[in-house]
Amino acid sequence: MKFLTWLLALVVALAPVPAAAERIRDLGQFEGLRANQLTGYGVVVGLQGTGDDNLQYVTEAMRGVSERLGLQLPPGVSPNLRNAAAVVITAELPAFAKPGQRLDVTVSAIGQARSLRGGSLIMTPLIGADGQIYAIAQGNVAVGGLGASARDGSQVAINVPTVGRIADGGTVERAVATGFDSAGSLRFNLHQADFLTASRVRDAINTRFPGTARIGDGVSIELTLPMGNDVRSGMLAEIEMLAVTPAPKAARVIVNSRTGTVVINQAVRLAPAAISHGKLVLRIEEAPMVVQPAPFSRGETAVEESSTISVEQEASRIALMPGAANLAEIVDALNLLGVGATDLIVILESLKQAGSLQAEMVVL
């Protein structure tokens, strides 16, 4: 009877924990239906003496702005631009964004400007990766940081005063073609490649819409959709909300060698192993002594160095680490060693080399 009870407990301990079902929309994204990055180069004006001063590239930028406004600066004139700053503007153009819609933009100083507080961005085109203009940015910059300096050179800064945002500061001027309404098929890409997860996503889609999905590879699922935006959008809305149980995660141990952080996921298994881990302590003690010359010897006071070097090696004992079938048992087994984070990293790497740690080691 005791043997049957022990066997049942062992089977329960070794049984994998079932993964929770997730929505398909959380496992990946549709190809082409993504945001696009926009960037631009502009000038922020209206600063209270915290700008780029007389830097050449700011001067040239202000000349360009003046020419767009119909003002020609005389040749050889270099305006004082303590109230202006050269900035880079970045924004994200969402999928299906249409002309006239608004975007939030981020404004960052690229020169010697100390703060963008109180400044206004002059109208600046935002360009995509293809070199085309997709939006226009302009507006008052909202800065969350604060900076101040005194005459003696002391400074104080709170957060980052050289970066700000303009809520709804960008206006979309051109839409990005996604091919959603014209492509005969659409591809769904998983965030992480896994053939089992891909097959489960395919089966879930085909159960709801027979013959719609097929696997392209370990990441992609090809969807054959009917033409027409209305019908196609309705199908995708249902597909995104279908529940799928993803494949169990691969056994992995993440080690950050700089901070000593060790992260172990639930799939890691540990085979029995014997570990011997000792420490070597080296001590160097300095005790300099002052030596005085004999009376009337015309000698000089000298410092005599005195050093003591000692080496201590702690007796290393062999510890038996039992096998572990789940995360709780692995943590208990590692805690029996009673070592610090640095020593634990060395032990885990040794267990991996010995074949006792059944997991992938990722060292950051």
pLDDT tens digits along 230-241: 888 888 888 888
Given this model, what pLDDT does residue 279 score? 60
Residues of the chain with pLDDT > 70, as a percent, come to 68
For the chain, count helices (H), then strands (E): 6, 26
What distance in Å separates the CA atoms of residue 40 and residue 183, rounded to the nearest whole number? 31
Given this model, what pLDDT does residue 307 score? 65
Assigned token pair, 216:
């392209």
Given this model, what pLDDT does residue 6 score? 34
Given this model, what pLDDT does residue 283 score? 65
The residue that leads in pLDDT, 183 or 323, is 183
Put simply, whether the predicted model's pTM sits higher than 0.85 gets the answer: no
Q: Is the pLDDT of residue 334 over 80?
A: no
When mean pLDDT is compared across 41-45, 277-281, 360-364, the lowest value belongs to: 277-281
Q: Which sequence spans correspond to the domains of the chain?
A: 17-32+179-244, 36-172, 252-363
- Residue 115 near residue 50 (C-beta atoms within 8 A): yes
What distance in Å separates the CA atoms of residue 126 and residue 113, rounded to the nearest whole number? 22
Write phi, then psi, for 54 (nearest 5 degrees).
Answer: -110, 35
| Of the ranges 24-33, 143-152, 162-171, 333-342, the best mean pLDDT one | 162-171
What distance in Å separates the CA atoms of residue 60 and residue 298, rounded to the nearest whole number? 75
Given this model, what pLDDT does residue 11 score? 33
- CB contact set of 309 (below 8 Å; sequence gap of 6+): 282, 283, 284, 285
Is residue 38 very low, low, confident or very high in pLDDT (cuts 50, 70, 90)? very high
CA distances from 122 to 116, 171, 293 (A): 13, 14, 79
The residue that leads in pLDDT, 100 or 356, is 100
In our burial notation (b when 16+ CB lie closer than 10 A, e otherwise), range 200-225 reads: bbbebbeeebeebbeeeeebbbbbeb
Query: In whole angstroms, what separates CA 261 from the centre of its chain?
Result: 17
When mean pLDDT is compared across 83-92, 135-144, 163-172, 351-360, the lowest value belongs to: 351-360
> Angle at CA 234, nearest 5°, toward 233 and 237?
85
What distance in Å separates the CA atoms of residue 212 and residue 24, rounded to the nearest whole number? 15
Q: What is the mean pLDDT of residues 123-131?
A: 89
What distance in Å separates the CA atoms of residue 134 and residue 129, rounded to the nearest whole number? 10
What distance in Å separates the CA atoms of residue 170 and residue 39, rounded to the nearest whole number? 11
Given this model, what pLDDT does residue 65 score? 62
Return left, alpha or beta for 170; rule: phi > 0 is left, psi -120 to 50 is alpha, else beta.
Answer: beta
3-state secondary structure 101-165: CEEEEEEEECCCCCCCCCCEEEEEEEECCCCCEEEEEEEECEECCEEEECCCCCEEEECCCCEEE
Q: Which residue in this structure is represented by tokens 């209270």?
A: 48
- CB contact set of 61 (below 8 Å; sequence gap of 6+): 41, 42, 43, 86
Which runs of consecutive H residues, i.e. helices, occur in the chain?
Answer: 2-14, 56-68, 195-208, 229-240, 327-335, 341-354
Q: Is the pLDDT of residue 194 over 60?
A: yes
Residues of the chain with pLDDT > 90, as a percent, come to 8
What distance in Å separates the CA atoms of residue 268 and residue 254, rounded to the nearest whole number? 11
The residue that leads in pLDDT, 285 or 324, is 285
**Average pLDDT of the residues of the chain:** 75
Q: Is the pLDDT of residue 312 over 80?
A: no
3-state secondary structure 31-57: CCCCCEEEEEEEEEECCCCCCCECCHH
Given this model, what pLDDT does residue 105 score? 93
The residue that leads in pLDDT, 316 or 364, is 364
Rg (CA), the chain: 33
- Residue 195 near residue 174 (C-beta atoms within 8 A): no
Assigned token pair, 171:
């206006």
Q: Is 61 helix (H, G, I), strand (E, B) or coil?
A: helix
DSSP annotation of 336 reads T
Given this model, what pLDDT does residue 59 score? 62
